[in-house]
Structure 1
Amino acid sequence: MTSNEIATIVDDEAKSLEISRAAGLSKLHEHTRAKAEAFEYAEFVTSTGMCPDIFRGKPKDATVAILRGAMLGFDPDASLEALFVIHGKVGMYARAKYAVAMSRGATMYEVEASDASVTWAGTKPGDDQVQSVTWTIERAQKAKYTSNQKYQTNPQQMLRAKCQSELADLLTPGALLGLIDEVDRDVRPPVKVKSERIRTGTSGLGDALGINTDDVPDVSGHASVEMATKDQLATIHASFQSKEEGLAYLTDVVGREIASTQDLTRDEAAKVVDELAKVNEPGNGGEPA
């Protein structure tokens, strides 16, 4: 190999490295702009009555959901309806996972359903091999999901949601990678970290969130959630005669499935305590509705 050939190879490698570096910086700039725009919108929407309760007053959590939803094709408001942030992780409701899987070209359909067992099946995009998922009451009990009162009042719906969620994960793992289930129990409280300050003021939310990238933004530093205090939990525990009754009430008040009082955030617990106080006012009967 001549010196000219070696020089050409070195020059080509340097050019390739420079192209990769430029692409990486461009993606970083787009990411930063998108994060700022998402946070600007989140600050507004989380202060309104149109925001889901779990995000109200939490613009950083809403920012995480908006960014992750944008990567999946959701607009900001749809992202807040489809996703949630708890224990420092992003989760997605079963109905939204189903929608994402179908939009990616997967097929999903119900095979059989009863109050005791539900089975769903489907195929990956471009693949004819059928995969199936079955959830039974026994399986839900083993996973400790049945503490949720809805497994007694509407078991078929709950088992169907579990099938949809698990099957969507199997068929479109790339799109749903890292998203937890709404009733995942094996998550742990986050370690508190110092969040960076996000600059606001740029425009073009739509363009900023329409980034064409396979990378999910790393914004976990904004996902810290304060969980319910001991005093709040003590008040809640003292208000119910049974665990099932309490969890059903919490689910109705908070607006999402609560499998344990330990899942409550501080703001959610405060809302529950306020509702209990209203119930216990003279003339209200003294029992949660």
Structure 2
Amino acid sequence: MSTEIEHYEAQSVVLPVEPQNAIGQLMQHAEAMDVAFSLAEKMCNTSLVPSIYRGKPNDGTAAILYGAELGLNPIQSLQQIFVVHGMPAIYARTMVALMKSKGHKVWTEESTDESVTVSAQRHNETHVETSTWTMERAERAGYVPTIDEKTGKFALNSNNKLIGNEKYLKDPQAMLYAKAASEVCRKIAPDILLGIAYTREELELEEAANPTRVKSERVAAPKSGTAGLAAKLGVTESPEPALDRVTEPAPEPVVLASDPEIKALVDALAEGGITDKDEAIAFLRARTNRPEIQKSKDLTSAEVAAVLDFMTNGEPTQ
């Protein structure tokens, strides 16, 4: 069995840019950036934009430029485009709207609190891509909060945050639709979505699984006397020996999973009903709390063992 899960991909061809046109394109981008920044500088000081862009015209400029590539106007870009771990994300409904604006078809086959099926067809093509997301599938992928048998309450991660997205319990149809719709859109028209890896709904799950950590730093008081003079002159003083300094042990070397371990993991995922590559990667990201994972070979040997143990025993190894 291959360690990579294959699925239909719409054909798209990237043509090389002629050298004589490259400089012209750079000039156009520079001019577009100036115009976008001028807009963002004004708009990001209003309550119209989400808090992530408020007072941040540089981030707003990037969102406006990226949205323009997708076909969104500046206001739509600031309201619809979000960023997770340096990668752009949009709402699933925005993906569907972009698809339909280009002549592609997206429709809902079935929608209940337990299962949602969405189909899509690329313009002038006969292939129909269908995706079904059920609560059971979402639970396997780690998206739905579960009860911790030891405490009788919802399970929490090591940061004492809820594991999963509570919206799967409050509005399951909307969340299942978001997963199914974004899945078929990515498969049918990756050229339109420009490689967008996340939807806003997935971003909410990532934020819950990986809260932002703020590092507390002590600010040193301004130096006076000779020490202050030395600092002004750029002279480096000999550091005083630190008292009670504790030497931390060197971190253990990271050992990536071997091919046999990866094969065992893929076999286990298949037995668990997870055969789609995107679904498998989403599951692995949720189980390891590592949203940067792009393929199974990014996992360490310890992570593979933990995932296999979870799938076998229902809880991670300690």
TM superposition score normalised by structure 1: 0.57
TM-aligned CA deviation for residue 20 of structure 1: 3.2
- In structure 1, C-alpha distance between the alignment counterparts of 2:39 and 2:93, rounded to whole Å: 25
Tell me the percent identity. 37
1:273-288 → structure 2 map (5 Å cutoff): none
1:85 maps to 83
TM-aligned CA deviation for residue 86 of structure 1: 2.4
Q: Is the 8 A contact 1:82 1:92 kept in 2?
A: yes
1:154 lines up with 2:152 in the alignment? no
In structure 1, the residue corresponding to 2:52 is in which secondary structure? helix
Q: Is the 8 A contact 1:92 1:180 kept in 2?
A: no
- In structure 2, C-alpha distance between the alignment counterparts of 1:90 and 1:155, rounded to whole Å: 24
TM-aligned CA deviation for residue 54 of structure 1: 2.2
For these two proteins, the number of residue pairs brought into alignment is: 179
- In structure 2, C-alpha distance between the alignment counterparts of 1:228 and 1:56, rounded to whole Å: 20
CA separation of 1:93 and 1:185: change in aligned 2, threshold 3 A: closer
Which of 66, 69, 79 matches 2:67? 69
Which of 147, 162, 168 matches 2:185? 168
- In structure 2, C-alpha distance between the alignment counterparts of 1:30 and 1:107, rounded to whole Å: 33
1:109-258 → structure 2 map (5 Å cutoff): 109-146=107-144, 147-181=164-198, 182=200, 183-184=202-203, 227-229=212-214
TM-aligned CA deviation for residue 230 of structure 1: 5.9
Partner AA of 2:179 in structure 1: K
TM-aligned CA deviation for residue 228 of structure 1: 4.0
- Cα deviation digits, residues 140-160 of structure 1 (max 9, x gap): 122222221111111011101
- In structure 2, C-alpha distance between the alignment counterparts of 1:87 and 1:131, rounded to whole Å: 29
1:60 lines up with 2:58 in the alignment? yes
Larger radius of gyration: 2
- In structure 2, C-alpha distance between the alignment counterparts of 1:50 and 1:186, rounded to whole Å: 24
2:245 maps to none
TM-aligned CA deviation for residue 185 of structure 1: 8.5
Partner AA of 1:159 in structure 2: L
- In structure 2, C-alpha distance between the alignment counterparts of 1:98 and 1:177, rounded to whole Å: 14
TM-aligned CA deviation for residue 83 of structure 1: 0.8
Higher helix content, 1 or 2: 1
- Cα deviation digits, residues 174-210 of structure 1 (max 9, x gap): 011321222158979xxxxxxxxxxxxxxxxxxxxxx
- In structure 2, C-alpha distance between the alignment counterparts of 1:39 and 1:187, rounded to whole Å: 29
Partner AA of 1:60 in structure 2: N
Partner AA of 1:105 in structure 2: G
**More RCO (CA 8 Å, sep 6+):** 1
TM-aligned CA deviation for residue 41 of structure 1: 1.3
Q: Is the 8 A contact 1:87 1:187 kept in 2?
A: no
- In structure 2, C-alpha distance between the alignment counterparts of 1:21 and 1:125, rounded to whole Å: 32
TM-aligned CA deviation for residue 70 of structure 1: 0.4
Query: How large is the RMSD of aligned CA atoms in angstroms?
Result: 2.7
- Cα deviation digits, residues 198-255 of structure 1 (max 9, x gap): xxxxxxxxxxxxxxxxxxxxxxxxxxxx944267xxxxxxxxxxxxxxxxxxxxxxxx
Structure 1, unpaired ranges of 5+: 1-18, 189-225, 232-258, 264-289
In structure 2, the residue corresponding to 1:54 is in which secondary structure? coil
2:22 maps to 24
- In structure 2, C-alpha distance between the alignment counterparts of 1:133 and 1:70, rounded to whole Å: 28
CA separation of 1:230 and 1:155: change in aligned 2, threshold 3 A: farther
- In structure 1, C-alpha distance between the alignment counterparts of 2:134 and 2:65, rounded to whole Å: 35
2:94 maps to 96
